[in-house]
Structure 1
Amino acid sequence: MSTASKLPPSQPLSMTTAEMAAVSLLAHYSGHTHELYSYQLCRWFTWYQTNGLDPLIGIQRAHVKLYIRNLGEAGLMASSINTMMHGLRGCFRFAHIDRLIPADPAVYARLPKVHTDESRTHASTGSN
């Protein structure tokens, strides 16, 4: 994609395969989720353009794992990395369902483990 802030308008004849996959995913969402997934996909597209790759075609699980590592090296916490991957994983899933790619490279890419602090959970609702 040419810009990291916004996906291009839907013009099927001029869209790349990656843009078609992104539009297919984003069409299912509105509001905050649509904006969040759009941002996540733009960040992925920008990262791959920076590295001279297509964001969809030829992507392997190793590429996805490198991106996950890059997010961590950029300072994101494990929970933020997991959130950042929601839109991307959905895009790959839709691209596979739509037969734009032969397999989903993110399906077995391990995400960082998020450790929860049980002392910070909600108070119990036990009866008195």
Structure 2
Amino acid sequence: MTNPSAITHLFKASMTEEEIAAAAFLARYTGDTRTMYLADLRILFDWCAVNGINPLQASRVHLEFFARYLEEERGNGAAAVHRRLSTLKGFYRIALADDRITKDPTVFLRMPKVQYDEARTLGLSRIELGRLVATARASSPTNGALVTLMGLLGLRVSEACNVQIEDFAHEVRGHQVLRLVGKGGKPATIPLPVPVLRALRECAGDRTSGPLILRKNGTPMDRRAAYTRIKSLAKAAGLPAGVHPHTLRHASITAALDAGAPLRDAQIFARHSDPRITTRYDRGRQNLDRHAAHLVSAFISGAA
């Protein structure tokens, strides 16, 4: 059985039924999302091939064993297993809708519980983010623009890497703006405050078109290169280990809330489709400040 790793142009000649099913599912997505889902399907298809199972004939029991394979042999944590199984839920849901299977094997599939400690995901403080921005701008215009896009505008790393110089050559109602297509193919128009616009223009220099963020060899910045660059800059700024591109986006959303932006405005800034996602940032940033431990300590200390 072939696996879907060769499906880069989706439908083509000599595809098996399961490859067509995979292509039909992947066609719903673009960019990094499609790449991630393709990797998840490849793991399933490879496992099925080793065990002599047609993915379109897999039962819930097969997928339960596949989940144990992810945990025990691949060493995936609960969050990774949950995400991969969620991909399979989407795949089989579309296969059922397309009449490629008669029953969805994921309906009663056990999903691992993923626990989040919101107090541990506060990201960078205002001082730390400011120090990182200053370090990046002092090192080079390219680094300054990269960190500014993620840390001050809240862009995802793929969005920052894909910014073209032409994308911020627009003015809307007196505001210089950046136009982009974000996650899920959603267009966005973002106003550019003066410090942000200055950083972008310094990075562009004399260029008037093409990718804004370039690597030292002149090729466009990609996710992997951006990850390495951010880690290096964070170390130079004296920040704790573990800073990565999404840390900057997280910090920018938290900063919007800390600066007093209403939750609705913060949701628009973050471009979250569900306000509950933004609420998590709001709840997490003040968990330690509001924690009842402060009240209990003060209450009991008065009687001690």
Q: TM-score, normalization: structure 2?
A: 0.38
* Separation (CA, whole Å) in 2 of partners of 1:25 and 1:60: 19
Larger Cα-atom Rg? 2
Following TM superposition, by how much is the alpha carbon of 1:8 offset from its aligned partner in structure 2, in angstroms? 6.4
CA RMSD of aligned residues (A): 2.1
Q: Any conservation in 2 of the 1:4–1:43 contact (CA below 8 Å)? A: no
Q: Match of 2:15, SS?
A: coil
Aligned residue number for residue 100 of structure 1: 100
1:73-84 to 2 correspondences below 5 Å: 73=72, 74-84=74-84
Aligned residue number for residue 189 of structure 2: none
Q: Any conservation in 2 of the 1:38–1:87 contact (CA below 8 Å)? A: no
1:1-128 to 2 correspondences below 5 Å: 1-2=1-2, 5-7=5-7, 9=9, 10-11=11-12, 14-56=14-56, 58-73=57-72, 74-121=74-121, 122-124=284-286
Following TM superposition, by how much is the alpha carbon of 1:4 offset from its aligned partner in structure 2, in angstroms? 7.0
CA deviation profile, 1:17-60 (whole Å, cap 9, x unmatched)? 2111111111110001000001110110001001111111x211
Q: Any conservation in 1 of the 2:4–2:38 contact (CA below 8 Å)? A: no
* Separation (CA, whole Å) in 1 of partners of 2:71 and 2:109: 14
Name whichever structure is richer in strand by fraction: 2
Q: Any conservation in 2 of the 1:95–1:101 contact (CA below 8 Å)? A: yes
Q: Match of 1:109, SS?
A: coil
* Separation (CA, whole Å) in 2 of partners of 1:2 and 1:63: 19
Following TM superposition, by how much is the alpha carbon of 1:71 offset from its aligned partner in structure 2, in angstroms? 0.3
* Separation (CA, whole Å) in 2 of partners of 1:105 and 1:3: 19
Name whichever structure is richer in helix by fraction: 2
Following TM superposition, by how much is the alpha carbon of 1:94 offset from its aligned partner in structure 2, in angstroms? 0.5
Q: Any conservation in 1 of the 2:81–2:112 contact (CA below 8 Å)? A: yes
* Separation (CA, whole Å) in 1 of partners of 2:48 and 2:92: 14
Percent identical residues = 36
Quick one: structure 1 residues 115 and 92, their matched pair in 2 at CA, closer, same or farther if it must change by over 3 Å?
Answer: same
Where structure 2 has 5 or more consecutive residues not aligned to the other structure, the ranges are 122-283, 290-304
Q: Match of 1:124, SS?
A: helix
* Separation (CA, whole Å) in 2 of partners of 1:14 and 1:89: 26
Q: TM-score, normalization: structure 1?
A: 0.85
* Separation (CA, whole Å) in 2 of partners of 1:4 and 1:97: 20
Following TM superposition, by how much is the alpha carbon of 1:95 offset from its aligned partner in structure 2, in angstroms? 0.6
Aligned pair count reads 124
Where structure 1 has 5 or more consecutive residues not aligned to the other structure, the ranges are none
Q: AA paired with 2:16?
A: T
Following TM superposition, by how much is the alpha carbon of 1:118 offset from its aligned partner in structure 2, in angstroms? 4.0
Following TM superposition, by how much is the alpha carbon of 1:5 offset from its aligned partner in structure 2, in angstroms? 4.3
